[in-house]
Amino acid sequence: MIQRIQSLYLLIASGAFGSLFALPFLTTTSNNAATTVPQMADGSLNLFDNIGLMGLTVLTTAIALAAIFLYKNRNLQGKIAGLGILTGALLLILAAIATQGVRSAIPSDGTVQFGLGWGAPVVGAVLLWLASRAIQKDERLVRSMDRLR
């Protein structure tokens, strides 16, 4: 059913991944030498500076949202949640690569701070994992009830 706990986990996970459109990975002040790097010209490194990050975020958010409506087919819902965990991990890896590339291009007198964008994919991946566990628990419960009939 759509009101199960895994639906709530999946909805919050999609919100966490969707929040990356507003949260930066790196920030700096406007008068800092780090703004000489093209991706940091606006003072932050976010999804809009890397098309791969943006595409993977849209995909992961869509996967989490789509999994909500697959409640009638728990096996498929579990597989889709697992795919969401995988794309969330890929998103974290790509974000780390992009961030490291920008940090290595920053002049020695430039400084940057890590932004809240790092927390959202971690929270989203954990919530997808929790949803996957809840889906498996429901499937075991249904199978045990079928044995009793």
pLDDT tens, residue order, the chain (149 aa)? 566 899 999 999 999 999 999 999 988 887 888 888 888 888 888 899 889 999 999 999 999 999 999 888 889 999 999 999 999 999 999 999 999 988 888 888 888 889 899 999 999 999 999 999 999 998 888 888 776 65
Domain boundaries, the chain: 5-144
If you count DSSP H runs as helices and E runs as strands, how many of each does the chain have, helices first?
4, 3
Q: Give the length of the chain.
A: 149
Cα–Cα distance between 124 and 18 in angstroms, integer? 9
CA atoms within 13 A on the CB side of 41: 4
What is this structure's pTM?
0.87
The 3-state DSSP class for residue 27 equals strand
Q: What CATH number matches the domain at 5-144, 1.20.140, 1.25.40, 3.30.450, 1.20.144? A: 1.20.140
Say which residue the tokens 């940090």 belong to: 103
